[in-house]
Amino acid sequence: MSEYKYSTLAVHAGQHPDPLTGAINVPLYLSSTFELTGIGTDRGWDYSRAGNPTRDRLEFALAKLEGGYSGHAFTSGMAAIAAMVAMLKTGDHLLCALDVYGGTVRLFNEIIVLYGIEIEYVDMSDLALVEKAIRPNTKLIYLESPSNPRMVLTDIAAVAKIAHAHGVEVGVDNTFMSPCLQNPIALGADIVMHSTTKYLNGHSDGIGGALIGSTPEHKERFLLVQKAAGGVMSPFECFLVLRGIKTMPLRIKQHEENGRAVAEYLSTHPKVQKLNYPGLKTHPQHELAVRQQKGFGSMLSMELGTRDNCAKFLAALKIFLNAESLGGVESLASHSATTTHATVSAADREAMGITEGMIRLSMGIEDKEDLIADLEQALASF
């Protein structure tokens, strides 16, 4: 199936008609258990935590879309990250990019650290720092590119090269880009993670996560974690994500177009003190974005000076909704310091450069002129 182009894959990978009825949509198999055909024999499924026919279809599609060996669907993005780090054991060293999703930092610093796994944060836009931080017990490098919310890129191919020279695996949270715009495995990464809550589902009506592995060992390991720890995606959620995937390439086109138009508009606005969007030629890593990504996405962050300016701006918006999350059809604006990064200490936030004056925008698929007009009137409120 991989000989097909992306939009075709999105509609058809894992989504072939039901062999029993010819239904062109993947049936929703709401069954916890499956009749066995004898002792120790079955029709491919025995219990839905271990495997479910609807989930199988989604997992197949995810593997195809990311160019991986196997896909694994979890109950949330965080459950997927927890499943990835379940590969580690006491004494292992996990090297994490400096400004990853706030929930990831919470998981690592409040839970994973309790298992005696050493966690170290490094600015991965500086490759020399990555190389220097690798120790004999380093097992996994975990990163996001672009990062949240500063939109700092990491050269995935370069990090993978350094990591592999030391026998270390690389996991990439690809949520911000979607599988349409960046494929970390093709760039050399070993494992891809997605919060399907975002672009894959795309309609802000579900929570889910995924891991895509690149080897038979990953498949075996992630299947075990699914079965043993049990944080698997429900069949209904799988159905929603499968439906979302069909229109993902089309949605991403509009998200992207809006991202570029809004960034261009904000780039000359006198009240926007700083704008972080890799699509701008002035972004310090624009060249890397062109090389590594198939587009610039629809996420950006900007500096409005103070928390009070942000409050006025958010209150004045009419189309953009003041809400966390991203990747849905509706445009969202959020104050990073008090939402996604609220549990990160003020000192750590400062080290990451996430200020009280920072606003993150997720462009939806509305008309770009309406979005720009909304931003214009909201920026006039302070």
Ligand X SMILES: *Cc1c(COP(=O)(O)O)cnc(C)c1O
Binding positions for ligand X, rule: CB under 6 A: 76-78, 101, 103, 144, 148, 173, 175-176, 195, 197-198, 207, 209, 326
Determine the residue with CB nearest ligand X.
Answer: 77
The vertex-340 CA angle with 212 and 209, nearest 5°, equals 20
What's the CA gap between 66 and 130, in Å, rounded?
Answer: 25
- Three-state DSSP class for residue 242: helix
Which entry of 49, 271, 294, 312 is annotated as an active-site residue? 49
Q: Is the dihedral of CA 323, 329, 331, 336 positive or negative?
A: positive
Residue 52 or 195 having the CB closest to ligand X = 195
Which tokens sit at 23? 């239904």
* Residue placing its CB nearer to ligand X in the complex, 309 or 334: 334
* Distance from C-alpha of 279 to C-alpha of 260, rounded to nearest angstrom: 7
Q: Within 13 Å, how many C-alpha atoms sit on residue 366's CB side? A: 17
Cβ 335 to ligand X shortest distance, Å: 16
Q: Which of 240, 207, 211 has the alpha carbon at shortest distance from 223?
A: 211
Least distance between ligand X and beta carbon 32 (Å):
23
Q: Give min distance, CB of 175 to ligand X, in A.
A: 4
Q: Is 173 a catalytic residue?
A: yes
- Tokens representing 66? 């990311």
Give the Å distances, CA to CA, from 168 to 98, 123, 360: 18, 17, 33
**101 tagged catalytic:** yes
Contacts with 1 (C-beta within 8 Å, 6 or more apart), sequence order: 9, 12, 13, 64
Judge whether 49 counts as a catalytic residue. Answer: yes
Length of the chain: 382
Catalytic residue (choose from 56, 101, 155, 374): 101
Closest CB 74 distance from ligand X, rounded Å = 9
**Given the complex with ligand X, which of 198 and 341 has the nearer CB atom?**
198
CB contact burial 116-147 (16+ within 10 A = b; e otherwise): ebbbebbbbbeeeebeebbeeebbbbbbbbbb
Label the pairing between strands 138-144 and 93-97: parallel
Nearer to ligand X, 316 or 329 (CB): 329
Q: Which of 92, 155, 173, 374 is catalytic?
A: 173
Q: Which has the closest alpha carbon to 85: 71, 98, 76, 95?
A: 95
Catalytic residue, chosen from 198, 221, 360, 368, is 198
Judged by beta carbon, residue 309 or residue 362, the one nearer ligand X is 362
Nearest approach, Cβ of 197 to ligand X (angstroms)?
4
Nearer Cβ to ligand X (65/107):
107
C-beta of 365: minimal distance to ligand X in Å?
A: 18
Instruction: Supply the residues annotated as catalytic.
Output: 49, 101, 173, 198
